[in-house]
Structure 1
Amino acid sequence: MDEAEQDRAFAEAIDRFGPALARMARGYEADPDLRRDLEQDVQVALWQSFAHFDGRCALSTWVWRVAHNRATSHMLAHRRRNAPGWASLEDIEIADAAPSPFDAAESGQAMTLILSIVERLDPPDRQILLLYLEGVTGAEIAAVTGVSPDVAAARIHRFKTMLTRRFAAAGEAP
């Protein structure tokens, strides 16, 4: 792909996925300054990647794969000093005794709870759930993350079950 085609592909990707990429960055990075750095890193990586894009997969698959790979690299390179360690989806108990952001919030702040849970996940589970929250199909999640569609579906199902229990424990309708 020549540079003009690369520029066009990048512009289309940013036009179609820019807001979703910003939300993805929020799921990976809580610090606003580091989040802006991550968003810029993702954009640079995406632009560079189009030199190798040959159209064998959907544009959305390509964009998500590049973005999540860059976000994972960022996360590993910039571990938060005061953050607790990551955990797998199976290890997180949402209905613990510690107050969650949702306990004191209106139902309009449910995403705060969801993102606080996602921030605690290890990178593979985080990728799957952030893609799911963006409405990406299970098959495409599998293509982006490299897991089977059954594994992606199982992790999404566990996440939804955990959220249902957590919202029920808070007295909210799921």
Structure 2
Amino acid sequence: MTRDDGQDRSFDDVLRRHAGLLSRIAASYEADPALRDDLLQDMALALWRALPNWRGEAPLRAFVARVAHNRGATHVVGQMRSPLGGALSDDWIEPRHGPDGHAELEERRVRLQDAVRRLPLSQRQAVTLALEGFSHAEIADALGITANSVGVRLNRAKAALKSVLGEDA
């Protein structure tokens, strides 16, 4: 496969470069670690199948996110159950914080992740990409919607998250 900064990219390279993105997207759809691992494998397989169709019209990162979100949405529809709370992986912990800081950060991450999982699917997708640093245009491209729709979804999601997390506007 070619494109993306003019360099050849193998599937393994694409998977390695976007492993964190895929893991975080999977975590936004599945709380159970074993089911999340299965979802990650499904995402990787879907990416492997879709990668030959990537024509470079959108950034590779957006393409990977779109494939992952499509798999995540299919997973949620297939599960038809309420999400279970679960701890996030240790790779999210920043080493500069002490034990108390780690505990506080972990508690905040778990609360946010659980709150994001409770959002309607369309809002969850937009929020997950926004938390990854995607612009409105990149989110729109990844989800196949307009940038205005992204703004609406993010505003609704922000209000819902504030309500669930008990934060003031």
Q: TM-score category by the smaller chain?
A: 0.7 to 0.9
- Quick one: structure 1 residues 113 and 48, their matched pair in 2 at CA, closer, same or farther if it must change by over 3 Å? same
| Preserved CA contact (<8 Å) 2:140 2:146 | yes
| Preserved CA contact (<8 Å) 1:124 1:145 | no
| Preserved CA contact (<8 Å) 1:61 1:143 | yes
- Quick one: structure 1 residues 61 and 9, their matched pair in 2 at CA, closer, same or farther if it must change by over 3 Å? farther
Distance 1:28 1:138 in 2: 21
CA RMSD in angstroms, aligned pairs only: 2.5
Residue matched to 1:79: 80
| Preserved CA contact (<8 Å) 1:141 1:149 | yes
AA of the residue aligned to 2:131? L
| Preserved CA contact (<8 Å) 2:123 2:156 | no
Distance 1:52 1:163 in 2: 36
- Cα distance, 1:163 vs structure 2: 4.6
Q: Which runs of 5+ in 2 are unaligned?
A: 3-7, 84-102
Taking the TM superposition and a 5 Å limit, the aligned residue runs for 1:13-32 are 13-32=14-33
Residue matched to 2:96: none
* Equivalent residue in structure 2 for 1:145, among 143, 146, 155: 143
Residue matched to 2:97: none
- Quick one: structure 1 residues 9 and 59, their matched pair in 2 at CA, closer, same or farther if it must change by over 3 Å? farther
Taking the TM superposition and a 5 Å limit, the aligned residue runs for 1:1-16 are 8-16=9-17
| Preserved CA contact (<8 Å) 1:42 1:66 | yes
* TM-score calculated relative to the size of structure 2: 0.74
Q: 1:13-61 deviations in whole A, cap 9, x for unaligned?
A: 2222101211111110011111000000000110111121222221112
- Quick one: structure 1 residues 106 and 146, their matched pair in 2 at CA, closer, same or farther if it must change by over 3 Å? same
Aligned-residue sequence identity (percent) comes to 38
Q: Does 1:58 align with 2:56?
A: no
Q: 1:106-160 deviations in whole A, cap 9, x for unaligned?
A: 3552221211111112221111111111111110101111221122123323434
